[in-house]
């Protein structure tokens, strides 16, 4: 039976050499990662779609947003994940972020910042039992920009406790739509009926 191998103890000087070498390797790996990222960006900029003028690409992004806004607002945001050029164009296009859907408080903050000083349109739909507790936080963020709000669409939203002392100087359309909860109606009204109020200013 062979005796167990005994590892040679590493001296302090040798350990320092190991640490220094590891530091050099780590630094080189970071340099290679940055170089690879730069090459990928250069490669992507050679694609035909990256040769479109910024104005045309921005218009395509806005049309895509409008297409998905009422159904799946998260989908159009994926244009910011395609490549560096697309992301730069999308994030700098104020018009793309002016139609603010509520996906999360963080997204609302990002959209408001990227919309710069452009007029805003707010779309908010409250799903009972899912995000009903979130509306006050949304309202607080939006009401800080009342002078920019042009259109407000609110679905199934209660306004109790929501206060605002600032004038809506740019508001053109205020639309409320509510769908009653699924419960027996003593007056025989179909609980699936919806009510809608539209105020044109």
pLDDT tens for 39-56 read 888 887 788 878 889 999
Both structure tokens of 177: 């739509």
Sheet with 99-101, side-by-side order of all strands: 99-101, 120-125, 149-155, 173-178, 195-200
Give the sign of the dihedral formed by CA 104, CA 109, CA 114, CA 120.
positive
Residue 182 confidence (pLDDT)? 43
Both structure tokens of 165: 């002392």
Give the whole-angstrom CA distance, residue 102 versus residue 192: 24
Give the sign of the dihedral formed by CA 100, CA 106, CA 107, CA 109.
positive
Per residue in 97-128, pLDDT (tens digit) is 998 767 777 888 888 899 998 998 887 776 65
Residue 135 confidence (pLDDT)? 67
Both structure tokens of 92: 């700098």
Both structure tokens of 78: 């994926």
Give the whole-angstrom CA distance, residue 100 versus residue 108: 7
Q: Per residue of the chain (201 residues), what is the pLDDT tens digit?
A: 555 555 555 566 677 788 888 889 999 999 999 999 888 888 877 888 788 899 999 999 999 988 887 667 678 888 998 888 899 999 999 999 998 767 777 888 888 899 998 998 887 776 655 555 566 676 777 778 888 888 888 777 666 656 666 778 888 888 877 655 444 444 444 444 444 444 444
Model confidence pTM above 0.85: no
| 23 CB neighbour count, 10 Å cutoff | 10
Q: From 201, 106, 103, select the one nearest 150 (Cα to Cα).
A: 201
HSE value, Cβ hemisphere, 13 Å, CA-based, for 11: 2
Q: Fill in the DSSP letter of residue 191.
A: T
Residue 200 confidence (pLDDT)? 47
Cβ atoms of residues 173 and 152 within 8 Å: yes
């Amino acid at each position: 039976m062979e005796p167990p191998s005994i590892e040679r103890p590493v001296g302090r000087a040798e350990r320092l050499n190991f640490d220094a070498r590891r530091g050099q390797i780590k630094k080189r790996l970071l340099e290679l990662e940055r170089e690879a990222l730069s090459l990928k960006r250069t490669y992507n900029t050679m694609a035909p779609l990256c040769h479109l003028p910024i104005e045309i690409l921005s218009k395509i992004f806005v049309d895509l947003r409008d297409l998905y806004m009422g159904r799946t607002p998260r989908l159009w945001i994926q244009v910011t994940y395609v490549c560096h050029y697309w992301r730069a164009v999308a994030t700098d296009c104020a018009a793309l972020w002016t139609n603010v859907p509520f996906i999360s408080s963080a997204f609302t903050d990002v959209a408001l910042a990227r919309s710069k000083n452009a007029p805003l349109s707010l779309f908010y739909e409250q799903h009972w039992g899912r995000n009903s507790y979130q509306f006050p936080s949304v309202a607080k963020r939006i009401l800080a920009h009342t002078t920019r709000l042009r259109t407000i669409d609110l679905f199934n939203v209660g306004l109790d406790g929501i206060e605002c002392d600032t004038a809506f100087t740019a508001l053109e359309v205020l639309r409320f739509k509510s769908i009653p909860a699924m419960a027996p109606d003593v007056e025989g009204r179909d609980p699936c009926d919806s009510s809608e109020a539209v105020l044109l200013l």
